[in-house]
Amino acid sequence: NSDKRYLLELAQHGVAIIPTRLASAAALPDVLAAMPGQAVVIKPSISGGAWHTLRGTVGDAAFAAAVAQLPREYVYLVQPFVPEVVSDGEWSLLYFAGEFSHAVIKRPAAGDYRVQGEYGGSAEPAQPDAATLAAADRALAAVAAVGHADHAYVRVDGVVGGGRFLVMELELIEPFLHLAAHPAAAERLARDVAARLSPAALADAR
């Protein structure tokens, strides 16, 4: 789950994702050449917090120069930029013990596209509609289908683009849980973790 190439595996199980191409740093110019004039985002497959993430238009000289400066040792994801990230925001849906708990909508600062707080982004409580919730549920079902079930916590990140929810990331390891936005959620999580650590539960796990 630390390597974003898992998105392609999710897509093979029917999860809607932002169309994604993989490329080494050396192959990026060739991959981008097949996307003339498109607004794209490039990010390392192993990264967080928008680290070494670029947004630009294919064919723009300044963008090409920035791409050429990317570290050579990584595999990169190349995706079309989804403008709804800026206009409508990016969803984070939190699940505890397999059940939906709460959600926030994250928005970038004016003039930016990154929703992280260190870039001026914000997050506020929000209630996803039925279609968004169902799409996130399908992403969790796909994870279970490949043999990874029974998570204490999961965060599904995505954006509604072109009328459907597109998964951007599925955080299973160490996601920020946005507990301050929903204080009651902290108690739910604590109860589940305590139950998992009870002597009976630990004995069953042996």
pLDDT tens digits for range 29-85: 999 999 999 999 999 999 878 788 999 999 999 999 999 999 999 999 999 999 999
- Burial label, 147 (beta-carbon count in 10 A; 0-12, 13-18, 19+): exposed
Strand stretches in 12-152, DSSP E: 21-24, 39-44, 54-57, 75-80, 90-96, 99-107, 122-125
Q: Which domains does the chain have, with CATH numbers?
A: 19-80 (3.30.1490.20), 84-196 (3.30.470.20)
Q: How many CB atoms lie within 10 A of CB 71?
A: 9
Taking only the tens place, the pLDDT of each residue in 124-136 is 999 999 999 999 9
pLDDT computed for residue 201 by the predictor: 65
Instruction: Read off the pLDDT band of 149 (50, 70, 90).
Output: confident
Q: What is the mean pLDDT of residues 151-164?
A: 95
pLDDT computed for residue 121 by the predictor: 95
Q: Which two tokens stand for residue 134?
A: 């169902």
Taking only the tens place, the pLDDT of each residue in 52-62 is 899 999 999 99
Residue 2 confidence (pLDDT) above 90: no
Tell me the β-bridge partners of 17: 167
pLDDT computed for residue 203 by the predictor: 66
d(Cα 158, Cα 17) in Å, to the nearest integer?
8
pTM of the model: 0.91
CA angle, 61 then 65 then 66, to 5°: 120
* Residue 157, helix vs strand vs coil: strand
Q: What is the mean pLDDT of residues 8-21?
A: 95
Instruction: Read off the pLDDT band of 108 (50, 70, 90).
Output: very high
